[in-house]
Amino acid sequence: MSEATTSSSTASIAAEVDQLLQGLGVPRAAYTGGELLARSPITGEVVAALPQTTAAHATATIAEAHAAYQIWRNVPGPRRGELIRLLGEELRASKAELGRLVTLEVGKVPSEGAGEVQEMIDICDFAVGLSRQLYGLTIATERSEHRMMETWHPLGVVGVISAFNFPVAVWSWNAALALVCGNAVVWKPSEKTPLTALATHAIVQRALARFGDAPAGLLALLIGQRDIGEVLVDDARVPVLSATGSTAMGKAVAPRLAGRFARAILELGGNNAAIVTPSADLDLSLRGIAFAAMGTAGQRCTTLRRLFVHDSIYDTLVPQLSKVYGNVQVGDPRTAGTLVGPLIDKAAFDGMQQALAESRAAGATVHGGGRVDGIAGADAYYARPALVELREHAGPALRETFAPILYVVRYQSFEQAIEWHNAVGAGLSSSIFTLNVREAERFMSSAGSDCGIANVNIGPSGAEIGGAFGGEKETGGGREAGSDSWKAYMRRATNTINYSTALPLAQGVTFDIGN
């Protein structure tokens, strides 16, 4: 086993956070002297104390955003795209600093912190092109000398409630598309990761200053806890809400949005699985499984949590996988060679230990999973990734535990593997490792994976912005980023234009009132 310890010469994380925030242009008053304590999971230390938004201020912010939308909706799409182009430039200029802040606030290894900012840059590039491609259709009409078409219009204020594990990328997926579509955006980040939100907001302000004439309140930030998110959920001036979090959160949010006929873009739980078939390239499978299951300390919504291995290759693949689990370096993410950093907090660690205890009680063989000491203080929670060999597909494997636990089950037939794969509430991401084209095509067909993402010969984790991201069933059905996801931020109008002197009615209806 390998653990990386923090160097005693490393400067205080709080001091580095302060330096980064100052360099990015965040006023010190925004993260000092308040009641919301921000901790770094790397050491568990408090690194900032943020003043929180009041409910009254949140309501006023939404009102200002609504007024901004009424101006912004009349700005031509390509001009709106110019703001996103400038934001992309500012993100490029600040990529190193913002990526480092992601590492310090979330505990991601540096390549993942920088990769999250790269996602923001990528979605800006995508949205700039989209600003000239908000296409409607010309539709065949049954009436002579008429034209029928559809047009798309912005909706208003788009609320964004984001989760800790991707503290800035998810906001950018929504904001970039919402803005080019003509909407205003109000963002409530996770109370566990407010500092990266402050930094992003400061970067946004530089892009707005360069743009020159954007209305005040177009992009707003609310710092607070659940009660502030509820203001966004319940305000009638927020016709679209994107919420990322647990399925339990989605079950609370969705009925309230439906009650006022608002649109919900929900990105919820993901109990993701992979199938390894007899024909699979085992070396490729091993590498794909390792990243998908252990990357980000198992704290991605697309993390691989269930693995179905065919009986004929189980005794070859699983011992190799167990060896990888035993040797992977767990430690301070700032230390070279570390692949698995800390869990976000004690609650995450306790949830992991509870799931492992249930697995052992059910007769499972558990490899790893214990707390790793000697890396940081008592308030930092490092754990070895756990590989759990199950006797049957049951128990805690049927629910998502947001931690690095991979449940492994033998299967005999492909049909059995598909049935187990789909036998959970969530339906986010999935994958199959196979060189058999029939198995690959079956997995991607309507009779295969029931998830929003279905991959072949790569793991379920690590999506690109060019494809719409999201899942089915208890994952909420929302889609963000590429494809036609922009339509979620707009309303469609069907238009019929009569350029004749007659007035023919559809379906041959007559209504003659004479002269």
Q: Which residues are catalytic?
A: 267, 301
> Coil, helix or strand for 188?
strand
The amino acid that residue 314 corresponds to is Y
Residue 359 host element (H or E) = helix 346-361
Look-up: residue for tokens 């990357």? Answer: 295
Residues 242, 478: Cα–Cα separation, whole Å: 8
Query: Is beta strand 480-481 parallel, antiparallel or unpaired with respect to 468-469?
Result: antiparallel
Residues 321, 306: Cα–Cα separation, whole Å: 14
The amino acid that residue 250 corresponds to is G
Residues 62, 54: Cα–Cα separation, whole Å: 12
Among 340, 335, 386, 380, residue whose Cα is nearest residue 4: 335
Among 107, 124, 300, 104, residue whose Cα is nearest residue 203: 124
Tokens of 151: 């047009």
Give the 3-state secondary structure of 250-318: HHHHHHHHHHCCCEEEEECCCCEEEEECCCCCHHHHHHHHHHHHHHHHHCCCCCEEEEEEEHHHHHHHH
Helices (H), 362-471: 414-421, 437-444
The amino acid that residue 399 corresponds to is R
Residues 169, 176: Cα–Cα separation, whole Å: 10
Residues forming beta bridges with residue 381, ordered by sequence position: 343
Residues 189, 198: Cα–Cα separation, whole Å: 9
Residues 29, 350: Cα–Cα separation, whole Å: 34
With a CB cutoff of 8 Å and minimum separation 6, the contacts of 62 are 157, 186, 220, 231, 232, 235, 237, 238
Residues 184, 218: Cα–Cα separation, whole Å: 5
**219 near 201, Cβ under 8 Å?**
yes
